[in-house]
Amino acid sequence: MTSDQRPIGVFDSGIGGLSVLQALQTELPHERFVYLADNAHAPYGEKTDLYVRQRTHAITEHLLAQHQLKALVVACNTATAAAIHELRTRHPQLPLVGVEPALKPAVALSQTGHIGVMATRGTVASDKFARLLDSVRGQAQFTVQACNGLALAIEQSTLPGLAEAAEQRITELLKQYTAAMGAFGKGLGQMDTLVLGCTHYVFVEKPLKALLGSDVQLVSTGEAVARQTRRLLEAAGLLRSDPAPLSAIQRLSLFTTGDLHGLEAAAQRWLDLPQGACHKAPAHV
């Protein structure tokens, strides 16, 4: 068996994709990863489809040229919805994995048959999400909520000087959006399952659970994305088989188009990474 040393690329509009990176690390402990957070242009969920497609292609071309990727994970629901089909056409030989709200797993978990979905406006308004929702029509009742501002507040929660206000804003937005969706719980007609349709939202699971109670199951996509990435790499014979362990710095390189301190704080908070793993992306990206 050959051992492919090239890294796997992962990108998101910001820090949300770190939740997917966590799952990828667990599933693929011997692999190297390059992560790019497009913080300077975040959040994607409130931008036009054309803008998101342009950013997705620019980042993909940069990562391929600079890091010789063997696979790419689009760890952003909005970018997946807007551009994954174009990426597959432009790069037919590149193993590509996108993310989408976990509606099908939620159907299997729900006991009341009523499922809530929180996502960005861009994801909710996309044709891809409409097709996904149509694919589970009749299997459950779905209440879908576009959460303007939530991903941005989560981004800002890692920035010096903005963190305290951002945490307060997160609490306000979570209360506002969950109240707008209706009743959560195990009772008749209540939502007992909530799909986190943006990778950023994984980082507010704790306050969500405190708000909704232990009866409500939260469903995200990181583990499923990691398993699919492994399957594609195995099928293509691209896994790194070397048994020698890699240090955190060898294994992970994180880049941002925005504030470096914010990425460093997020990487330390959620991945326990040293500052040396984070870098500023070139200005032209």
Per-residue pLDDT of the chain (285 residues; tens, 9 = 90+): 457 999 999 999 999 999 999 999 999 989 999 999 999 999 999 899 999 999 999 999 999 999 999 999 999 999 999 999 999 999 999 999 999 999 999 999 999 999 999 999 999 999 999 999 999 999 999 999 999 999 999 999 999 899 999 999 999 999 999 999 999 999 999 999 999 999 999 999 999 999 999 999 999 999 999 999 999 999 999 999 877 777 777 899 999 999 999 999 999 999 999 888 999 999 999
φ/ψ of 35, rounded to 5, equals -115, 135
φ/ψ of 96, rounded to 5, equals -125, 135
Ordered structural domains, the chain, with CATH:
8-99+223-280 (3.40.50.1860), 103-219 (3.40.50.1860)
Taking Cα atoms as reference points, which of 95, 47, 226 lies closest to residue 14?
47
Burial group, residue 100, by CB count within 10 angstroms (0-12, 13-18, 19+) = buried
Question: How far is 66 from 45, CA to CA, in rounded Å?
Answer: 27
Q: Point out the catalytic residue in the list 52, 198, 233, 267.
A: 198
Contact (Cβ atoms closer than 8 angstroms) between residue 182 and residue 192: no
Angle between helices 18-27 and 260-271 (to 10 degrees): 40
Question: How far is 160 from 146, CA to CA, in rounded Å?
Answer: 27
Contact (Cβ atoms closer than 8 angstroms) between residue 227 and residue 235: no
Could you report how far apart the first and last alpha carbons of the chain are, in Å?
Answer: 36
Q: Point out the catalytic residue in the list 76, 81, 174, 263.
A: 76
Q: Is 76 a known active-site residue?
A: yes
Taking Cα atoms as reference points, which of 161, 149, 151 lies closest to residue 259?
161
Question: How far is 176 from 120, CA to CA, in rounded Å?
Answer: 15
Q: What is the pLDDT of residue 2?
A: 58
Residue 179, C-beta contacts closer than 8 angstroms, at least 6 positions apart: none
The DSSP output letter for 184 is B
Q: Is 147 a known active-site residue?
A: no
Q: What is the pLDDT of residue 143?
A: 98
